[in-house]
Chains A and B, each alone.
Chain A
Amino acid sequence: MCSRFHNVCGLFWTLIVCGCSPAVPVAVPPPGHLVQGIRQSTLQPGPPSPVRLVRNPVEGDAEAIETGKRLFGQFNCAGCHAGGGGAIGPALIDDQWIYGSGAGNIFSTIIEGRPQGMPAFGGRISEDQTWRIVAFVRSIANLTEDPAPSPPASGTEKGKAVFLHGPCVMCHTIRGTPAGSRVGPDLTHFASRKTIAAGTLPNTRGHLAGWILNPQNLKPGTQMPATLLESQDLHALLDYLETLK
């Protein structure tokens, strides 16, 4: 039943894509290659899997940007964002990014969807297609520079990369970096704060570690999700956050 449903979906998308642009065939992947969005549920068998740091494999690639532009039209992104100038949906060519302007942010926004209108494309688009759209969107926003230098030079630089390519960037702003989301608190001067967790804990390294790794336990109901980092990534992230005076 399930595979039949997938077959029907696959046929549906094949028809849509071919119907929209017969001259430029775009490979639609078989269902097994589709990117599944992250499902939010209160039921979970144990803690979520460790965070994967994300980088666009086709960032700045001219051919990928060109394909991304076509896909932008084929998936009807333009229906809400117009040519990028915005209409029903936000503009993509200015510097206002509610959910962050990093490649990983835009990828997540496409796959997971966002409240008040942005549909989740998870399950309907391949990873490769998504990255190409991301490359296109970042190119029209003049965000061609990859914010993550690799390999990072110091612990602090590594921590910054963990922040910018991990889940932190989805919700927090650090001015002077691509992290510009306004969902959670602005962390630009985080190290100057006396307390964390809405004033409930002293801003010390120990409390901060516990807060990042398992905030729900310290403040039930907080919007901050648990972030299961590899230990080296956590230490680097703590080093970085402590530099934000």
Chain B
Amino acid sequence: MRTILLLTLASLSLVLASGAGGQAERGKQLAGWYGCGSCHEIPGLRGATGQVAPPLRRIARRAYITGSVPNTPTNLIRWIRAPRTVDARTIMPDMKISERDATDIAAFLYKLD
């Protein structure tokens, strides 16, 4: 019983360590394709010098995202996929990003220093 609990905790911390559990490198390419960098400044992403919306450096350390919801992987993925379900008045467009792509992008974002 104790072993199972430890194993569960270990796997949970692994998931948290890798951010949202996605593939960060793939997420980086997707962020470039979808165009996150045209509005956001993202360190390490070529051409991502956007000055429309907040810079995303060290986003993993923020307590809240979008000014309204706690910074959890679930909330971040939801925000990336369907921003207006989180904040109806946001300027951020719905880019029709799949769950998998959004998870990978979140993984990439959570690794930003």
A-side residues, CB < 8 A to B, are: 201-202, 204-211, 213-214, 217-218, 231-232, 234-235, 238
The chain B residue sitting closest to A211, CB to CB, is B38
| Bound form: Cα–Cα A207–B45 in Å | 14
| Bound form: Cα–Cα A211–B90 in Å | 17
Chain B residues contacting A238 (CB-CB under 8 Å) are: 93
B86 close to A (CB within 8 Å): no
Q: Is the CB of A231 within 8 A of B52?
A: no
| Bound form: Cα–Cα A201–B51 in Å | 16
Contacting A209 at CB < 8 Å: which of B47, B84, B93, B96?
Answer: B93
CB distance from A170 to the nearest CB of B (A): 21
Contacting B50 at CB < 8 Å: which of A208, A210, A234?
Answer: A210
Chain B residues contacting A201 (CB-CB under 8 Å) are: 35, 38, 47
Interface members, chain B 56-113 (any A CB < 8 Å): 84, 89-96
Q: Is the CB of B91 within 8 A of A234?
A: yes
Chain B residues contacting A231 (CB-CB under 8 Å) are: 89-91
Q: A210-B39, A211-B38 are in contact. Are A205 and B95 (CB under 8 A)?
A: yes
Q: A231-B89, A235-B93 are in contact. Are A209 and B51 (CB under 8 A)?
A: no
Q: Is the CB of A214 within 8 A of B34?
A: no
Q: Is the CB of A206 within 8 A of B93?
A: yes
Contacting A214 at CB < 8 Å: which of B36, B51, B89, B90?
Answer: B51
Contacting A205 at CB < 8 Å: which of B50, B91, B93?
Answer: B93
Chain A residues contacting B94 (CB-CB under 8 Å) are: 205, 235
CB distance from B53 to the nearest CB of A (A): 9
Chain A residues contacting B51 (CB-CB under 8 Å) are: 214, 217
Chain A residues contacting B89 (CB-CB under 8 Å) are: 231-232
Q: Is the CB of B95 within 8 A of A206?
A: yes
B49 close to A (CB within 8 Å): yes
Chain B residues contacting A208 (CB-CB under 8 Å) are: 35
Contacting A218 at CB < 8 Å: which of B50, B84, B91, B95?
Answer: B50
| Bound form: Cα–Cα A208–B92 in Å | 11
Known: A204-B95, A205-B96. 4 other contacts (CB 8 A): A207-B38, A214-B39, A214-B52, A218-B38
